[in-house]
Structure 1
Amino acid sequence: MLHSTVTPEAKRRAFRDALASGVLVRMPGAFSPLTALAIERAGFEGVYVSGNALAADLGLPDLGLTTLTEVSTRAQAIARVTGLPSLVDADTGFGEPLNAARTVQILEDAGLTGCHIEDQVNPKRCGHLDGKAVVGLPDMVRRIGAAVAARRDPGFVICARTDARGTDGLGAAIERAKALAGAGADMIFPEGLADAAEFEAVRKAVDVPLLANMSEFGKSTLLTADTLRDLGVNVVIYPVTLLRLAMGAVAEALATLDADGTQAAFVDRLQTPAETNALLGYADYADFDTALVDATVSDGTGHSRDHQKQP
């Protein structure tokens, strides 16, 4: 109710324990706090805050237009409602190495479990689009080094993403992955790998946790959770799946409403008010409010009066 009772520190410990356990942490992308609640209710192990989905929900393309304030504000709203670990896309760290350092501290304060920072130049592009460019490896090492040095809670996970597979090939991506792990990254996110064989090659090259991006309409073959687990992948994200599914339903519903003049044709597919209220924990709020106003205390005259009990 209101906020999750699980502290950010506890979420970070749980995430690190999961990374060390060999299990696969599945993180669907939440574009709102309500979708984060649905992800938790469905039994997934974590929540991902996608830069692509966040930008789209703000009416912007994924071209590095969102600010640190916009990202941290939305990510904090998502992280506060769920007891699950939450990983956020921090783009390029929003500037130079000093900016990356500040980004980490802002996201720590916002209650996130971790973030990933990538090696693209600004303005960045979606990782599964052509026309990208990456900074030199020494620049990216400084970017990750600054993020690691600025971290105050050692539990906060710093993931290094490399887009070098799409610009310079698999070999370059592997070399970057090894260098970034050496620079202190807790996890490696090799973006745009083609297939299982490429994930296997990266897994053999680095001994830190590995993240896979299973994004529809992208460069990577959509591998199952079982396959990724067998390959030794530690985290899988589904960044824009829920947003794309929701917007597909929105477009279909609007077309039907326009054509029919009524929503009657799709009412049976809507989430009911009871289902939404159950997801929100509406009954818990009502019980909490009732408990506050039911208490009575003496008014000092020997009589009793209604008084709100302090929580």
Structure 2
Amino acid sequence: MANPIVKDKLAAGDFIFAPGIQDMITAVVADRVGFEVVYASGYWLTASAYGLPDAGIVSYTQMVDRVATLVRTSKAAVIADADTGYGGLLNVHHTVKGYEEAGVSGIQLEDQEFPKKCGHTPYKRVVSCEEMVEKIRVAVEARVDPNLQIIARTDALQSEGLSAAIDRANAYRAAGADVLFVEALHSDEEMRTACAEVDGPMMANMSNGGLTPMRSVEEMQTLGYNMAIFPALTSLASAWAVEKALREALGQGGTPEPEGVPLFDFKEFCSLIGFEEVWDFEKKWARD
């Protein structure tokens, strides 16, 4: 069953701020910090699991497995990137069913042609508005759990302009989408205009290094947003820290304890990842 917190927060007007999760270590750390909602990023789950770019290469089967693992691991509600629904209308139906069974609280579908591309990279192509409207209708009909939120993303800005992207978002809302996501906006003005002219809750993508200006929660609320994901922060921070540690280790004669590199406490991490439960079990059932 979907965690109702996403639907409830939207209904109550509480802003949702969700970090991107690329692996299960990040998931348990996000739990430790106290995030109530997290984002299963297609870009970063693909990169971490398979070392591949977010270009429609990873299949539905691979992605739903990663998402299901995240739902089992995290205490937070999970909003999951489902790309284009991995094909046509039947694929969308199957994808929504599979993600719902995995236990996600939100599923994001986009209007790119299959295979898709990362929203902050060039050469994106979108399907017709009518085709995406049908996909949203299929997704709504496929949903069983009313707590599951359907998020409709449009990548039409690059090829069709802001006005067309807004028209698409409104069409997707009329088709039944719960949240709208106009991707890769370039300025506060575009963000404010989209929020003002789209008739429904709006999600922002705060992607570090991407095309959209980075703004605080307060600033995003002022612009008109109801929720935001920041999918890249944890992955970029992790990659930088790993490279820093490895370079320092190599540069200091191959020491596994390089100077100037902070490390997570090993005993704390054992507890974080669940070893105390294992030890308690072994203590209870240990043989003399």
Q: Distance in 2 between matches of 1:100 and 1:24?
A: 28
Q: Is 1:55 paired with 2:46?
A: yes
Residues 73 and 267 from structure 1, CA distance in 2 versus in 1: closer, same or farther, beyond 3 angstroms?
farther
Contact 1:114 1:159 survives alignment (8 Å): yes
2:173 partner amino acid: A
Q: Distance in 2 between matches of 1:90 and 1:252?
A: 33
Structure 1 residue 259, shift from structure 2 partner: 2.2
The residue that corresponds to 1:228 in the other structure is 220
Secondary structure, counterpart of 1:123 in structure 2: coil
Q: Which runs of 5+ in 1 are unaligned?
A: 1-7, 295-305, 307-311
Secondary structure, counterpart of 1:217 in structure 2: coil
Q: Distance in 2 between matches of 1:268 and 1:251?
A: 11
Secondary structure, counterpart of 2:21 in structure 1: coil
Q: Is 1:283 paired with 2:271?
A: no
1:272 partner amino acid: D
Residues 156 and 228 from structure 1, CA distance in 2 versus in 1: closer, same or farther, beyond 3 angstroms?
same
2:36 partner amino acid: E
Residues 266 and 190 from structure 1, CA distance in 2 versus in 1: closer, same or farther, beyond 3 angstroms?
farther
Q: Distance in 2 between matches of 1:133 and 1:268?
A: 43
Contact 1:100 1:143 survives alignment (8 Å): yes
Secondary structure, counterpart of 2:193 in structure 1: helix
Structure 1 residue 55, shift from structure 2 partner: 1.6
Residues 288 and 199 from structure 1, CA distance in 2 versus in 1: closer, same or farther, beyond 3 angstroms?
farther
Which of 1 and 2 has greater Rg? 1
Out of 112, 122, 129, the position equivalent to 1:130 is 122
Structure 1 residue 288, shift from structure 2 partner: 5.1
The residue that corresponds to 2:139 in the other structure is 147
2:268 partner amino acid: E
Q: Deviations over 1:78-137 (max 9, x none)?
A: 111222110111000000011011000000111111110100112211101111111110
Q: Deviations over 1:225-274 (max 9, x none)?
A: 11112233122111121111111122222222222211332475111112
Q: Distance in 1 between matches of 2:181 and 2:116?
A: 16
Q: TM-score, normalised by structure 1?
A: 0.87
Secondary structure, counterpart of 1:167 in structure 2: helix
- Equivalent residues, number: 285
| 35-44 or 88-97, larger mean C-alpha shift | 35-44
Structure 1 residue 197, shift from structure 2 partner: 2.3
The residue that corresponds to 1:269 in the other structure is 262
Contact 2:245 2:258 survives alignment (8 Å): no
| 261-270 or 83-92, larger mean C-alpha shift | 261-270
The residue that corresponds to 1:4 in the other structure is none
Q: Distance in 2 between matches of 1:293 and 1:59?
A: 40
Q: Distance in 2 between matches of 1:287 and 1:144?
A: 48
The residue that corresponds to 1:76 in the other structure is 68
Q: Which runs of 4+ in 1 moved over 6 A?
A: none
Q: TM-score, normalised by structure 2?
A: 0.93
Out of 86, 91, 94, the position equivalent to 1:99 is 91
Q: Distance in 2 between matches of 1:146 and 1:264?
A: 54
Q: Identity percentage over the alignment?
A: 38
Q: Distance in 2 between matches of 1:263 and 1:285?
A: 27
Contact 1:145 1:183 survives alignment (8 Å): yes
Residues 247 and 181 from structure 1, CA distance in 2 versus in 1: closer, same or farther, beyond 3 angstroms?
same
Structure 1 residue 15, shift from structure 2 partner: 1.3
Superposed CA RMSD in Å reads: 1.8
Q: Deviations over 1:273-299 (max 9, x none)?
A: 122123224334434554x539xxxxx
Residues 285 and 19 from structure 1, CA distance in 2 versus in 1: closer, same or farther, beyond 3 angstroms?
farther
2:144 partner amino acid: R
Q: Which runs of 5+ in 2 are unaligned?
A: none
Q: Is 1:32 paired with 2:26?
A: no
